[in-house]
Amino acid sequence: MSVGQVRDIDIVKLIKPVASITGLVVVWYALVEAGLVGELPGPVPVVVAAIELVPNPEVHASIIASFRHIYVPYVLAAVLGVPLGIAIGWNQTFNDLVFPSLEVLRPVPPIAWLPIVILVLPTTVQGIMFITFLGAFFPIILNTVAGVRSIDEDYIRAVQCLGGSRSQVIREVVVPAALPSIHTGLIVGMGLAWINLVAAEMIASEGLGRFVWVSYTSSSFPNILFSVLVIGALGYASSEVVRWLGNQKLQWTNRSG
Amino acid sequence: MSIADSVEDKLTSARSTVDTIPPVPRWVLKGLSIGLFIATWWILVEIGFLGFDLLRTPLETAVSLFSFIAGETMGQGDSIYVHAYHTLYRVVLGLGLAVVTAIPLGLACGWSDWWRSYVYPAFELLRPIPPVAWVPIALIALASEFLGIIWVVFIGAFFPIMINTMEGVAEIDAEYAQAVKSLGGGNWDLYRHVVIPHTLPSMITGTTIGVGIAWIAVVAAEMLSGGPGLGYVTFQSYRLMDTGVVIVGIIVLGTFGAASSSLVMRVGDYLTPWTNEVRE
Amino acid sequence: MQSLTKIYDPEGEHVTAIDEIELGIEAGEFVSLVGPSGCGKSTLLNCIAGFIEPTHGQIYVDGNPIDGPGADRGVVFQENRLLPWKTVRQNINLGPQMRGEIEDGRAEELLSKMGIEGTGDQYPTELSGGMQQRAEIARLLANDPEIMLMDEPFSALDALTKEIMQELLLDIWEEDNRTVVFITHDVEEAIFLADRVLIMTAGPGRIKEAIDVDLERPRDLDVTTTPRFNELKEQALSAIVEEARAAMESEQ
């Protein structure tokens, strides 16, 4: 394959998504021009606002604040959720003792806890971080439990009859076998953490969420759209990073004979 | 393998051969779990650890809950039923719209390369935007607060349903399609007998996830705007430091969330009898 | 090697999977277990391996009752159970690694003994079915177990590979003379490999008949065409067919 051909193929591959997104922008523009969408600004004002806002330090500060709000709780959710999930999936007694309480708490949308959490914890930021933690915690723990439960009995037996002790079995079989599910849980957890983070930030007035809401109340409409798009981009990037990191560690799932 | 090893036996025999805990009936343990939870709650409120003294004890909460069910007004002069009705209405409407639009789109993007290449990327771009972030946009673009909340619920549920449907279509084995064709089926038959049944489980999964996100969306949206609703009254009560109502609000929200997820799963199981485990 | 397995009166859980089996196996003996599906042969193997505790009765190895799975009784499973997240070499070294006694070069030795040199650094999913089974046997041998328990290990292989594996297994067995309990539903395979063929009945499982295979060793595949072999095969088959019929009738 010549170099020229390679480049052609790359460009052709890009055309379709670009065309799609262009289509979206065109539809957006048309809707605004037709007056069908109230006060929604069109693409052009948003681009103009973006150019102004990208170097804006206030925006940067908001972004950094949001990352702080999500980074610590997420890691905590992983560090707590994975071992707990393994314990619940592995040991029936532990499962019966712990899981029912979790199941009672789970259906509550994390954001609904916000008022209580703000009252109970000393600072608002801690409250937000707790909500984010909850958002990530449940998917992580559920996927871990499912991963452990679905391990084929025989793998465990194979290692047992090679003379493995219980902790060796957990280390050599349970954890690696459950890793794909754990990975999925971590990706989903990051997504839900982000969703809950933004909601909490908007209501409690911190970080990027606050920036969006302030733009709304001060009627800076293009800013609203800009910040929302930034939120989307950051959320996407965060999930992809988690996915990519996982794929690096899980090389063995990709190969097939 | 041998005849009658139930899953539970397999778990206990192979995994916990060294766990010589005297067998306690499982329901006792589960009851203990809930009991511990309530006890911890009670103790924390009594001690006043952190800000817990601002909350109500389990007993007070239960009393409040029952009085609301009996008709006492929760906040702003409306009973619990009014608030619940409004929130439920929004969830059902938003979810319904999402199902009706996301499934056909998902099927189209999963089945047709053209749709997948030209239509899907636009959605992919919008997907990472958290539902709540749409609230201000919806408020300025749509005519009323109500429509704004519906939009947020809709968009929250839309993407999981569409993505899961798409993936469900992608999993269809070419051989099923070939089987139907060799029985003399045309394209329409293909959809009816292969694509849709095969994709149903994925649609159900997507809808279950969508329900969960719909509840997050409706609560957050209600907290940010006005009008009766469970999220709204919970937040207002927080502002007024009426923590009894706050806790009750959360409990009711959780109950509805659980009930709706459960409902979706039941409906799903009913629609897909072939996925249920066969017991011999 | 002095290993002796004696089983007395084991049963399965809830539904009686196997009932009142009394069995003695000599050290270095190769025993085949044949029977219709669901007759409990896997349950029996699991009991010997120590994965399941019999509801009544005990299993003794060398006079001592067993207590759970152990490295002295290695198992090869029907479906390949090499850990997919480890390379072939890592799998083979797993047993010694867990005891902290990896011998350099032992993995290589076993790889060439099993005829799969060069696959050490590959992952199990990259290997064919036959190679995977060889690797699994190699993993077993790395642990030097006194007893080898094999649950229909070759049933998923194609006919050609199966024959090769059977001869390979006999070679290994004759070299080290371990005790082997081999489950299969293939009567010819059972007779070809074993010193003694045990025929099990279905629900609840019992040992119906024991056939001593008096064919001379070392054997190769030519022996399957001899008249004596066919006699034994007839004997075994008639016992099994009887059982299968009874099982089908009882289901109706």
For residue range B185-219, what is the model confidence (pLDDT) as tens digits? 666 767 777 788 888 888 998 999 999 999 999 99
Contact (Cβ atoms closer than 8 angstroms) between residue C49 and residue A161: yes
Give the span between the Cα atoms of A40 and C99, in whole angstroms: 68
| Cα dihedral sign, B254-B93-B220-A196 | positive
- Answer yes or no: is C235 within a domain: yes
Kindly identify which residue of chain B lies nearest to residue C41, measuring between CA atoms. Answer: B2
Mean pLDDT (chain C) is 80
Q: For residue C77, what are its two tokens?
A: 């499973």
Percent of chain C with pLDDT over 70: 86
The pLDDT value recorded for residue B275 is 67
- Whether residues C56 and C106 share a domain: the answer is no
Measured between alpha carbons, how far is residue B208 from residues A62, A78, A149, B201 in Å? 33, 23, 21, 11
Res. B14 pLDDT band, cuts 50 70 90: very low
The pLDDT value recorded for residue B2 is 31
Cβ distance of A163 and C77 shorter than 8 Å:
no
Contact (Cβ atoms closer than 8 angstroms) between residue C45 and residue C181: yes
- Whether residues C65 and C136 share a domain: the answer is no
Do the strands B73-75 and B78-79 form a parallel or antiparallel pair, or are they unpaired? Answer: antiparallel
Lowest model confidence (mean pLDDT) among A176-180, C108-112, C207-211, C242-246: C242-246
Contact (Cβ atoms closer than 8 angstroms) between residue C133 and residue C101: no
Chain B interface includes C133 (CB < 8 A): no
Q: Which stretches within A108-253 are classed as H helix?
A: 114-120, 124-149, 153-160, 166-169, 175-204, 207-217, 221-249
pLDDT higher than threshold 70 for residue B75? no
pLDDT higher than threshold 70 for residue B167? yes
Cross-strand partners of C181? C31, C149
Q: Which stretches within C100-177 are classed as H helix?
A: 106-113, 129-142, 159-176
| Cα dihedral sign, A38-A44-A47-A48 | negative
pLDDT higher than threshold 80 for residue C21? no
Give the span between the Cα atoms of C33 and C186, in whole angstroms: 10
For residue A204, give every residue at least 6 positions away whose Cβ sits within 8 Å of its Cβ, in sequence order, or none. Answer: A114, A118, A124, A127, A128
Res. A144 pLDDT band, cuts 50 70 90: very high
CB neighbourhood size of C88 (10 A): 27
Cβ distance of C71 and A159 shorter than 8 Å:
no
Whether residue C204 is preceded by a cis peptide bond, meaning omega within 30 degrees of 0, is yes
Number of domains in chain C: 2
Percent of chain B with pLDDT over 70: 85
Cβ distance of C13 and B14 shorter than 8 Å:
no
Best mutation target among A162, A170, A248, A250 (most C Cβ atoms within 10 Å) is A162
Instruction: Among C92, C109, C144, give the residue marking a domain's end.
Output: C144
- Whether residues C152 and C247 share a domain: the answer is yes
* Closest in A91, A209, A233 to B16, CB measured: A91
Nearest CA distance, C109 vs chain B (angstrom): 32
Mean pLDDT (chain B) is 80
Q: Which residues of B touch A38 (CB under 8 A)?
A: 140-143
- Whether residues C128 and C245 share a domain: the answer is no
The pLDDT value recorded for residue C14 is 53
Contact (Cβ atoms closer than 8 angstroms) between residue B219 and residue B231: yes
CB neighbourhood size of B136 (10 A): 24
- Answer yes or no: is C17 within a domain: yes
Cβ distance of C94 and A257 shorter than 8 Å:
no
Kindly identify which residue of chain A lies nearest to residue C128, measuring between CA atoms. Answer: A257
Average pLDDT over residues C129-133: 86
The residue ranking higher by pLDDT, A133 or B107, is A133
- Answer yes or no: is C229 within a domain: yes
Q: Under DSSP, is residue C101 helix (H, G, I), strand (E, B) or coil?
A: coil
Cβ distance of B133 and A202 shorter than 8 Å:
yes
Instruction: Among C107, C128, C144, give the residue marking a domain's end.
Output: C144
Res. C8 pLDDT band, cuts 50 70 90: low
CB neighbourhood size of B243 (10 A): 22
The residue ranking higher by pLDDT, C2 or A52, is A52
Helix (H) or strand (E) holding B251: helix B243-271
CATH code at position C176: 3.40.50.300
- Answer yes or no: is C62 within a domain: yes
Instruction: Report CA C231 to chain centroid distance, whole Å.
Output: 24
- Whether residues C159 and C68 share a domain: the answer is yes
In chain B the domains, ranked by start, together with CATH numbers, are 8-55 (no CATH), 73-275 (1.10.3720.10)
Cross-strand partners of C73? C147
Nearest in space to B123 (alpha carbons), one of C18, A24, A155: A24
* Closest in C51, C126, C128 to A157, CB measured: C51
- Whether residues C136 and C200 share a domain: the answer is no
Contact (Cβ atoms closer than 8 angstroms) between residue B106 and residue B163: yes
pLDDT higher than threshold 60 for residue A256? no
Helices (H) and strands (E) in chain B, counts: 13, 2
Give me the domain span that covers residue C215.
5-72+147-251
Query: Residue B113 — φ and ψ, nearest 5°?
Result: -65, -35
- Whether residues C64 and C152 share a domain: the answer is yes
Percent of chain C with pLDDT over 90: 1
Cross-strand partners of C214? none
pLDDT higher than threshold 50 for residue B100? yes
- Answer yes or no: is C108 within a domain: yes
DSSP A170: I
For residue B230, give every residue at least 6 positions away whose Cβ sits within 8 Å of its Cβ, in sequence order, or none. Answer: B83, B84, B86, B87, B219, B222, B249, B252, B253, B256
Q: For residue C72, what are its two tokens?
A: 């002295």
Instruction: Among C144, C159, C179, give the residue marking a domain's end.
Output: C144
- Whether residues C124 and C178 share a domain: the answer is no
Give the span between the Cα atoms of A137 and A192, in whole angstroms: 9
Cross-strand partners of C25? C5
- Whether residues C175 and C191 share a domain: the answer is yes
pLDDT higher than threshold 80 for residue A129? yes
pLDDT higher than threshold 90 for residue B154? yes
Nearest in space to B162 (alpha carbons), one of B239, B102, B245: B102
Best mutation target among C11, C21, C33, C43 (most B Cβ atoms within 10 Å) is C43
For residue C33, give every residue at least 6 positions away whose Cβ sits within 8 Å of its Cβ, in sequence order, or none. Answer: C41, C44, C45, C181, C182, C183, C184, C190, C198, C200
Chain A interface includes C51 (CB < 8 A): yes
Helix (H) or strand (E) holding B7: helix B7-10
DSSP A187: H
Contact (Cβ atoms closer than 8 angstroms) between residue A127 and residue A114: yes
Q: How many CA atoms does the CB half-sphere of C250 hold within 13 Å? A: 10
Nearest in space to A234 (alpha carbons), one of A110, A56, A69, A29: A69
Measured between its terminal Cα atoms, the distance across chain A in Å is: 27
* Closest in B51, B118, B254 to A19, CB measured: B118
- Answer yes or no: is C78 within a domain: no
Average pLDDT over residues C99-108: 78
Chain C interface includes B70 (CB < 8 A): no
- Answer yes or no: is C77 within a domain: no
Q: Where do we find the tokens 């290993």? A: C3
Lowest model confidence (mean pLDDT) among A66-70, A119-123, C39-43: C39-43
Q: For residue C58, what are its two tokens?
A: 């005990």
- Whether residues C158 and C243 share a domain: the answer is yes
pLDDT higher than threshold 70 for residue A4? no
Do the strands C5-8 and C22-25 form a parallel or antiparallel pair, or are they unpaired? Answer: antiparallel
- Whether residues C113 and C218 share a domain: the answer is no
Give the span between the Cα atoms of B145 and B139, in whole angstroms: 6
Nearest in space to A164 (alpha carbons), one of C78, C50, B33, C84: C50
The CATH classification number of A41-250 equals 1.10.3720.10
- Whether residues C157 and C237 share a domain: the answer is yes
The pLDDT value recorded for residue C15 is 58
The pLDDT value recorded for residue C50 is 81
The pLDDT value recorded for residue B276 is 60
Give the span between the Cα atoms of A36 and A48, in whole angstroms: 22
Tens of pLDDT, residue by residue over C44-65, are 888 888 887 777 777 778 777 7
